[in-house]
Structure 1
Amino acid sequence: MYEGFDVNPDGSFNMWFGYMNRNYEEALDLPVGAANAFEPGGDRGQPTHFTPRRHKDVFSVPVPKDFGDQKLTWRIVAHGQTQQVVATLKPVWQIDRLRTTRGGNSEKISSNLPPTVTVQASGQTLTAPASTTLTLAATDDVLPKRRGEPVGMTVMWAKYRGPGAVQFSAPNARLENGKASTAASFSEPGDYILQAVVDDGSGESAGNFGYHCCWTNTQVKITVKGAGARTNLQSAVSNQQAPTFAKDIAPIFQAKCQTCHHQGTSAPMSLVTYEEARPWARSIQQRVANRDMPPWHLDKTVGIRHYKNDRSLSDDQIATIVRWVDAGAPQGNPADMPTPLTFAPDANWFIGEPDLKVTTPNDFVMYARGPDWWIDQFADVTLDEDRWIKAMEIKPSNPKIVHHVVIYVIEPDAPEGTPETGVQLHEYAVGKYGDIFGDNTGRLLKKGTRLRYDMHYFAIGSEQHNKTTMAFKFYPKGVVPKYQVRSQALRNIPNDELEVPPNTVVRTDGYFRLPRNARIDAFQPHMHMRGRGMTLEAINPVNNTTEILSSVDHFDFNWHI
């Protein structure tokens, strides 16, 4: 990808390039040559190692001030497919570095500046099998800030060029007191270039690809000497005792993963036994290091930070899993295995045995192939009197084809102005269980209510069937809880249509004025493929201050938790 150009003080130009590796797990190595070349020039300093997903402003190609209307073409060939990008100095491509203020004050030029970074290696000329310790130091302008505190800098390490594999002991890390270190191990002799991307929390790692600030790329060259034969990467790993599945990994999986990853669930693999987990070791390492798994999409630096059901991994747990895989994913002593967990059948209700279940009456048939299908289904509630809800849960009979369900209540005596389609009652999405209300808190379900099931189905390659059940647990008859629960959508109606140009992030705001004191029990973003993040803020009308309550900063359409 061509990112644009900036201008040097002497009038020459830097033409900036990045890339998008569409794979989620596979990194590609494309040596300079027929499969990775510039025209003109061939080798222009481009990377030969391409890590998964999008990476912006990875390298620049300097060109003279009289470059004029000439073009640079970068062409790569991978898996039989050719991709190329053409770069020019047309004015539309100019990057105004002075006014790139992401995370700062948009009214002040250069109010947020990228970090200044240095890297030192304990050894730059090594003998295979080899490893070196990389020590990084960085200073920053302490922007951006959240709740008055700097977000803090992070570093991502990757091989940029080199003939073999490079393993980092800490490929992703947060800088402490402006410093971070990692051990780099090399699988075979040769000349390597390693790259560190230091981000202040507003740029590359934050996913703000429409901006060119604020992160810094720093490279270091390492030469590994040897006879040319491949070496075992494991022998270059630190001599510290490697974690084993039985003693170190299985307890982590039990605490954070196995609730979903056991036999009989919709998860793609079970992680209960070593035999089940071992074939997925590399994939597990990649997903864990990228914090894709376990799914926990909250920004843990703002708002409410501690949850009883926090399924995310700590930095130490991530490091342990990474080291386990780097060491060859050893099983260890089976006697060290923790006592196996027992799991309730998927058919059991999270809220306990319901007092009432309301199921869509008709069998829904989803075609084998085709676009997603949104459809309304209906069911009547059978009650002999109004009842207060203590807990509720939605369960599709075939969760493999259901992305989400939003259920609305259509009440027989709804107030004037209530939408004919009803008001929201509850939602199901992948990863979400039921709602159990707090003590003395509930929601009224009226006699004669009809439920509207707003269904979102997707095809999986074969014809599928589904019915959806809404389950309720009630307070005892005659008990009226003190506090009433309501669901409230925050949207910028009628102005919530968005135009999102390519490679940009667009923001929209929605508001709701609380008519009285209230407690917020849950915040659930609902977006689709283009959704990136959503933040819930409280605005104090007395002093016009804003406080972040919760922020989902890396939303994933496949999860709504």
Structure 2
Amino acid sequence: MSPAYEGWRPNEDGSFTMLFGYMNQNWQQELDVPIGPDNNIEPGGPDQGQPTHFYPRRNPFLFMIRVPKDLGSKELIWTLTTNGKTEHAYASLKNDYMIDNQVISTEVGGDGGSLRDELRTNLPPELKVEGDAHRSVKVGEALTLIAFAKDPDNIPARRDGRGASSAAPPNAAAVANLLYRPPSSLVPASGPGLRLSWIVYRGKAATVTFSPDQMKTWTDTRAYANSPWSPPYFIPEPPPDNKWVVQATFQEPGTYVLRAVASDGALFTYDNVTVSVTR
């Protein structure tokens, strides 16, 4: 597991925002690393908003840390220990790490991997989760999550295509062709179109069930993998009134952070709900 420093952006008040993600080299193993000696960001930590549940493969631009304008040459260091191995991400304001919306889009394969200048002015989705930011529920009870999202500028524009539910059922030859076809680019491509998924940001995801199943937010490039980066995936149309309704059920007590992830395929907007689960 490698923590990743994605880059920094300037803010109007002179401060800076640093962006982070991670790369889990596993395709199946998901890891839980509590905040502490094995998962910390210093100075100023150990808790600076990083995840404690780690999905497989690449999870880019997952959280941000605002740093003061006088940070200078100082660094933030994210330390992450998993499977007995410690890795570090070193975040600085070096010029080479400055990014913009087009860089973010390119790194996630947005708009099918496009480099159009229009993506520099792309606006991220607008997202609002209905209800309190802190909820309580009992083990086995369904928690209803309602989120509203919209794409304010339709950049990158949604392309006509079949919804995921109307895609032709796969046959053996088609699956084999997709599984063994060499990649056409170094960065997996994700098609345009507004989408929203819930993930477990903190807490043991194996004990949480979402209904309906959620589209993956990590770059699963395997065929028919319910992922925007997975061929031959088609982004489904948004629900009526751009209202996503999901139920989450927990099998173990504890404190969880669930995250709504809205994306237009190029940029991301997040909102968290903390859930206290009791027996």
1:16 is aligned to 2:15: no
Which of 222, 225, 230 matches 2:278?
Answer: 225
- Deviation digits for residues 329-378 of structure 1 (CA, Å, limit 9, x no counterpart): xxxxxxxxxxxxxxxxxxxxxxxxxxxxxxxxxxxxxxxxxxxxxxxxxx
1:119 is aligned to 2:123: no
Structure 2 CA distance for partners of 1:75 and 1:7, relative to 1, 3 Å = same
The secondary structure found in structure 1 opposite 2:130 is strand
Structure 2 CA distance for partners of 1:24 and 1:105, relative to 1, 3 Å = closer
* Alignment TM-score, normalising by the size of structure 2: 0.68
Distance 1:147 1:30 in 2: 39
Report deviation, 1:2: 0.3
Tell me the residue number matched to 2:182: none
Tell me the residue number matched to 2:41: 38
- Deviation digits for residues 132-151 of structure 1 (CA, Å, limit 9, x no counterpart): 01111111022323556894
Distance 1:100 1:59 in 2: 13
Structure 2 CA distance for partners of 1:109 and 1:130, relative to 1, 3 Å = closer
Structure 2 CA distance for partners of 1:121 and 1:39, relative to 1, 3 Å = same
Tell me the residue number matched to 2:156: 144
Structure 2 CA distance for partners of 1:146 and 1:13, relative to 1, 3 Å = closer
Report deviation, 1:51: 0.8
1:159 is aligned to 2:200: yes
1:153 maps to amino acid: L
1:187 is aligned to 2:257: no
Distance 2:6 2:36 in 1: 23
Percent of paired sites with the same residue: 39
Report deviation, 1:163: 5.5
Distance 2:200 2:158 in 1: 32
Report deviation, 1:192: 1.5
1:4 is aligned to 2:12: no
Which of 88, 106, 117 matches 2:116?
Answer: 106
* Alignment TM-score, normalising by the size of structure 1: 0.36
Contact between 1:121 and 1:132, CA under 8 Å: does it hold in 2? no
Distance 1:43 1:187 in 2: 26
Give the count of matched residue pairs: 215
1:172-211 mapped onto 2 (5 Å cutoff): 172-173=214-215, 174=236, 175-177=238-240, 178-200=242-264, 202-203=265-266
Report deviation, 1:121: 5.1
Structure 2 CA distance for partners of 1:192 and 1:100, relative to 1, 3 Å = closer
Report deviation, 1:108: 4.3
Structure 2 CA distance for partners of 1:93 and 1:171, relative to 1, 3 Å = farther
Distance 1:161 1:220 in 2: 10
Structure 2 CA distance for partners of 1:116 and 1:39, relative to 1, 3 Å = same
Contact between 2:9 and 2:17, CA under 8 Å: does it hold in 1? yes
Query: Alpha carbon RMSD of aligned pairs, Å?
Result: 2.7
- Deviation digits for residues 389-444 of structure 1 (CA, Å, limit 9, x no counterpart): xxxxxxxxxxxxxxxxxxxxxxxxxxxxxxxxxxxxxxxxxxxxxxxxxxxxxxxx
Identify unmatched segments of 5+ residues in structure 2. Answer: 162-190, 216-235
Larger radius of gyration: 1
Distance 1:151 1:105 in 2: 13
Report deviation, 1:131: 2.6
Distance 1:109 1:52 in 2: 28
- Deviation digits for residues 297-332 of structure 1 (CA, Å, limit 9, x no counterpart): xxxxxxxxxxxxxxxxxxxxxxxxxxxxxxxxxxxx
Distance 1:161 1:121 in 2: 19
The secondary structure found in structure 2 opposite 1:172 is coil
Distance 1:96 1:79 in 2: 34
Report deviation, 1:109: 6.9
The secondary structure found in structure 1 opposite 2:96 is helix
Structure 2 CA distance for partners of 1:170 and 1:21, relative to 1, 3 Å = farther
Report deviation, 1:186: 1.5
Distance 2:119 2:192 in 1: 20
Relative to total residues, which structure has the larger strand share, 1 or 2? 2
Report deviation, 1:36: 0.8
